[in-house]
Amino acid sequence: MRSQPFALVIAALAAATLCRGALGAEPPVLKSGLWEVVRASVQTPPDRRPVTTMCLDESVQAQMREFGTGATKEMCSQNERNVEGNRMTMSATCKLGQTTMKTQSVMTFSGNTSYHLDGTATYDPPLPNMPKESKTSVDAKWVGPCKAGQQPGDVTLETGQTLNIKQMMKPGPSGSIQPAMKP
pLDDT digits (tens, 9 = 90+) for 81-98: 899 999 999 999 999 899
Burial of 159 (0-12, 13-18, 19+ CB in 10 A): exposed
In a domain, 44, yes or no: yes
Percent of the chain with pLDDT over 70: 79
Q: Global pTM?
A: 0.79
Average pLDDT for 129-153:
94
**Averaged pLDDT score across all residues of the chain:** 82
pLDDT in tens, 61-83: 988 888 877 778 888 999 898 99
Domain contains 28:
yes
Task: Compare 3 and 132 and report the one with higher pLDDT.
Answer: 132
Residue 65 covered by a domain: yes
User: CA neighbours within 13 Å on the CB side: how many for 91?
Assistant: 2
52 located within any domain? yes
Q: Is residue 39 assigned to a domain?
A: yes
